[in-house]
Amino acid sequence: MEGKIIIVGATGYTGSALAKLLKQENIDCHLIGRNESELQKLANETGQSFSVCSNVSDEQSVNESLSSIANDKILGFAYCVGSIVLKSFQTTSEDFINTFNLNVTGAILFIKKLQKQLAEIVDRLFYFQQLRWIEVLICTLLSQLQKGLFKV
């Protein structure tokens, strides 16, 4: 198979498992993550290329992480980054914004940068994330709003 599958969040549980599985299937990947030493370790283990993205919510960081594969054919895209905030929103809205940026803004920035390449493979996009985080976040937020503990 010609081309690569991009795995963002490659050093996390889901991303690293996917990278190892795809290696077994002889599918070429490009690993992206924020921890260079962990990326190097995984890249050595799987024989895949990698780049560092220090902040998935920062467009410049996203662009830099994709620069080495700008001309490569993309076979798939897996966004394996994410966080679930289960603590109360009593303090500030900062936790909500940070979680939103990590879970949503990051994926949007990668898709935006890769949109031409991804247009050819719409059927092979993966968003690995526990989708219930949205439900948990909304229920917690509504509960806090009703109690007057969190202000928008």
Structural domains present in the chain: 4-146 (3.40.50.720)
Q: Which of 2-6, 94-98, 142-146 has the highest mean pLDDT?
A: 2-6
**Is pTM, for the whole model, over 0.85?**
no
pLDDT 10s digits, 49-63: 999 999 999 999 999
Q: Which of 19-23, 80-84, 134-138 has the highest mean pLDDT?
A: 19-23
Task: Please report the pLDDT score of residue 132 as a whole number.
Answer: 40
pLDDT 10s digits, 41-95: 999 999 999 999 999 999 999 999 999 998 898 888 888 887 666 555 555 677 7
CA-derived radius of gyration, the chain: 17
- Please report, for residues 9, 12, 49, 76, 138, the alpha-carbon distance to residue 131 in angstroms, rounded to integers and kept in the order given: 16, 17, 29, 20, 12
Q: Which long-range contacts (CB under 8 A, 24 or more apart) does 41-44 make?
A: 42/10, 42/11, 42/16
Per-residue pLDDT band at 150 (split at 50, 70, 90): very low
pLDDT 10s digits, 96-119: 778 777 878 888 899 889 888 877
DSSP notation for 65-76: HHGGGTTSPEEE
Q: Is the pLDDT of residue 139 over 90?
A: no
Is there a contact between 3 and 75 (Cβ–Cβ < 8 Å)? yes
